[in-house]
Structure 1
Amino acid sequence: MADVSLGPPDRDRLFGGEDASEADRGQLLLVAGLVMAVSLVTLVVLLNATIYSENVATRGVASADGEALEVRATAVDGTGELIDATNRAGPGGHGNATETVRDGVTDLDAEMSRSYAERGGVTHLELLGVQNGTRITGAITGNATGDPNASTLARDVDRTRGFVLDVDPGNLTDANATSAVDDAFHVDLDNSTGGSRQVYVYNGSDGNVTVAVGENGSVPAARCAVPPDGRGRVAVDLTGERLGDRPCPGIWPTTLVAPDDAYDIALMNASAAGGEVTATARPVSGDTVTADPGFGATPAVYGASIELRYRTAELRFETAVRVAPGEPDA
Structure 2
Amino acid sequence: MADLNGVRRGGSDADRGQLLLVGALSLAVLFVALALLLNTAIYTGNLATREAGVEGTEAIEYTSASREGAVAAIESVNRRNDSSHATLSSALRETMAAWDDTAAHHRAVNGDAANAAVVGTTNGTRIRQREANRNFSSVGGAPDWTVVDGATGIRSIRFEVNATRLKNGPTDSFRMNVSSAEGTRSLSLYNNSTDDPRALIDGPEGTSVCPAGSVTGGTFAVDVANGSIGGASCSALTRLDDTSGTVTVEYDDGDVGGGAYSMVVNGTSSSLSLPGLASPGTDDPDWTDALYGASIRISYRTPQLEYTTTVAVVPA
Structure 1 length-normalised TM: 0.68
Question: 2: distance between equivalents of 1:228 and 1:244?
Answer: 5
Pick from 73, 77, 83: which aligns with 2:68?
77
Give the equivalent residue in structure 1 for 2:98. Answer: 107
CA offsets, 1:11-69, max 9 Å, x none? xxxxxxxxxxxxxxxxxxxxxxxxxxxxxxxxxxxxxxx9xx98x99987775554333
Q: 1:235 deviation in Å?
A: 1.6
Question: 2: distance between equivalents of 1:315 and 1:245?
Answer: 44
Mapped contact 1:208–1:228 kept (Cα < 8 A):
no
Mapped contact 1:86–1:97 kept (Cα < 8 A):
yes
* Residues 204, 64 of structure 1: alpha-carbon distance in 2 compared, 3 angstrom cutoff: farther
Q: Which runs of 5+ in 2 are unaligned?
A: 1-41, 278-283
Pick from 236, 243, 258: which aligns with 1:274?
258
Computed over aligned residues only, the root mean square deviation of the Cα atoms, in angstroms, reads: 3.2
Structural mapping, 1:1-330, within 5 Å: 63-64=54-55, 66-138=57-129, 139=131, 141=135, 143-144=137-138, 147-175=141-169, 180=170, 182-191=171-180, 193-205=181-193, 207-215=195-203, 221-253=207-239, 257-260=242-245, 262-283=246-267, 290=274, 292-293=276-277, 294-326=284-316
Q: 1:146 deviation in Å?
A: 5.2
* Residues 263, 102 of structure 1: alpha-carbon distance in 2 compared, 3 angstrom cutoff: same
* Residues 298, 162 of structure 1: alpha-carbon distance in 2 compared, 3 angstrom cutoff: same
Q: 1:319 deviation in Å?
A: 2.2
Question: 2: distance between equivalents of 1:291 and 1:163?
Answer: 19
Structure 2 length-normalised TM: 0.71
Mapped contact 2:52–2:305 kept (Cα < 8 A):
no
Mapped contact 1:133–1:287 kept (Cα < 8 A):
no
Q: 1:298 deviation in Å?
A: 1.0
Mapped contact 2:150–2:271 kept (Cα < 8 A):
no
**Max radius of gyration: which structure?**
1
CA offsets, 1:201-240, max 9 Å, x none? 2223465432212249xxx733422332445532212244
CA offsets, 1:169-227, max 9 Å, x none? 3332221xxxx1x3321111133x554221112223465432212249xxx73342233
Q: Which runs of 5+ in 1 are unaligned?
A: 1-49
Q: 1:257 deviation in Å?
A: 3.2
Question: 2: distance between equivalents of 1:60 and 1:209?
Answer: 55
Identity %: 22
* Residues 173, 115 of structure 1: alpha-carbon distance in 2 compared, 3 angstrom cutoff: same
